[in-house]
Amino acid sequence: MKPPTLQLSDFWQAILTPSRSDLLFAVRNMIAGMVALYLAFIFDLEQPQWALTTVFIVGQFTSGMVLGKGAYRLAGTVVGGVASVAMIAMFGQLPLLFLLSMATWLALCTTGASLLRGHAAYGFVLAGYTAAIIALPAVSDPQAVFDHATARCIEISLGIICAAVASTVLWPRHAEQGLSAQGHAAWLAGLSAAAAELLGTDQRKGLLDALGRLVAVDNQHASARFEGPKGRRRSQALRVLSRDLLSLLRAARAVARQRLMLDDSARVTPLIENVAAALQQARHQDLPALAQQISHALQDPSLSPEAHFCLLELAQLLQLIDQGALTLHALEQGRVPPGAPGAMSWHTDIEQGVLAGLRCALAFLAVAAFWVFTAWPAGLGAISICGVVLSLFAARENPSESSLNFLKGIVISIPVAALVHFGLLPGFDSFAMLGVCLGIPLFLASLCMSRVKLAATASAFCIFFVNNIGPNNLMTYDFAAFLNSAIAPLIGGGIAVLVFRLIQLNPGERHYRRMYNALLFDLAQLTVRPLEQAESWFGGRMADRLIRLSRYSAIYTTGRRHWARGLLGLDLGDELLEVRASLANSQGALAIARDRYLHSLARAFKQQGPNEQNLAIIDKPSETLLKALEQSPSRAQQEIASAAIAQLQYTWRKACQPNTE
Q: What integer pLDDT is reported at residue 61 of this predicted model? A: 77
Measured in whole angstroms, the distance separating CA 127 from the mean position of its chain's CA atoms is 19
Range with the poorest average pLDDT among 48-57, 253-262, 268-277: 253-262
Mean pLDDT of the 278-283 span: 82
Distance between CA atoms of 266 and 492, rounded to whole angstroms?
A: 67
Distance between CA atoms of 386 and 595, rounded to whole angstroms?
A: 54
Distance between CA atoms of 231 and 436, rounded to whole angstroms?
A: 37
Mean pLDDT of the 506-522 span: 81
Instruction: Return the percentage of the chain with pLDDT > 90, whole number.
Output: 18
Yes or no: say if 518 and 421 are a contact pair by the CB < 8 Å rule. no
Q: What integer pLDDT is reported at residue 1 of this predicted model? A: 42
Give 471's DSSP letter: -
Mean pLDDT of the 13-35 span: 89
Q: Is the pLDDT of residue 148 over 60?
A: yes
CB burial readout 3-28, b (16+ within 10 A) else e: eeeeeeeebeebeeebeeebebbbeb
Helix axes 228-260, 531-555, angle to 10 degrees: 70
pLDDT band for position 2 (cuts 50, 70, 90): very low
Gyration radius of the chain over CA positions? 29
Yes or no: say if 438 and 471 are a contact pair by the CB < 8 Å rule. yes
Give 341's DSSP letter: -
Q: Is the pLDDT of residue 441 over 50?
A: yes
Distance between CA atoms of 631 and 623, rounded to whole angstroms?
A: 13
Quick one: which of 178, 166, 138, 134 has its CA closest to 152?
134
φ/ψ of 494, rounded to 5, equals -65, -40
Q: What integer pLDDT is reported at residue 343 of this predicted model? A: 66
pLDDT digits (tens, 9 = 90+) for 81-139: 999 999 998 987 888 898 899 999 999 999 998 888 778 888 898 898 888 888 888 87
202 or 309: which leads in pLDDT: 309
Distance between CA atoms of 397 and 395, rounded to whole angstroms?
A: 7
Measured in whole angstroms, the distance separating CA 384 from the mean position of its chain's CA atoms is 26
Helix (H, G, I), strand (E, B) or coil at 431: helix
Yes or no: say if 638 and 629 are a contact pair by the CB < 8 Å rule. yes
pLDDT digits (tens, 9 = 90+) for 76-85: 999 999 999 9
Distance between CA atoms of 604 and 614, rounded to whole angstroms?
A: 8
Q: Is the pLDDT of residue 556 over 70?
A: no
Q: Is the pLDDT of residue 290 over 80?
A: yes
pLDDT digits (tens, 9 = 90+) for 389-404: 888 888 777 888 889 9
Distance between CA atoms of 406 and 231, rounded to whole angstroms?
A: 33
Instruction: Return the percentage of the chain with pLDDT > 70, whole number.
Output: 93
Distance between CA atoms of 618 and 652, rounded to whole angstroms?
A: 8
pLDDT digits (tens, 9 = 90+) for 618-651: 888 888 888 888 877 777 767 788 888 888 888 8
Residue at 79: amino acid letter: V
Helix (H, G, I), strand (E, B) or coil at 302: coil
Q: What integer pLDDT is reported at residue 324 of this predicted model? A: 86
Helix (H, G, I), strand (E, B) or coil at 425: helix
Angle at 194 between CA 188 and CA 200, to 5 degrees: 135
Yes or no: say if 255 and 199 are a contact pair by the CB < 8 Å rule. no
Give helix then strand counts, H and E, for the chain: 25, 0
Distance between CA atoms of 169 and 434, rounded to whole angstroms?
A: 25
Yes or no: say if 543 and 215 are a contact pair by the CB < 8 Å rule. yes
Distance between CA atoms of 573 and 535, rounded to whole angstroms?
A: 9
Residue 92 neighbours by CB distance under 10 Å: 18
Distance between CA atoms of 300 and 472, rounded to whole angstroms?
A: 84
Strand locations in 131-254 (E): none
pLDDT digits (tens, 9 = 90+) for 149-205: 898 889 999 999 999 899 888 887 777 777 778 888 888 888 888 888 888 776 677
Residue at 568: amino acid letter: L
| Per-residue H/E/C for 5-39 | CCCCCHHHHHHHCCCHHHHHHHHHHHHHHHHHHHH
Q: Is the pLDDT of residue 542 over 50?
A: yes
Helix (H, G, I), strand (E, B) or coil at 143: helix
What is each CA distance from 282 to 274, 285, 313, 444, in whole angstroms?
12, 8, 21, 43
Choose from 254-263, 369-378, 583-592 the range with maximum mean pLDDT.
583-592
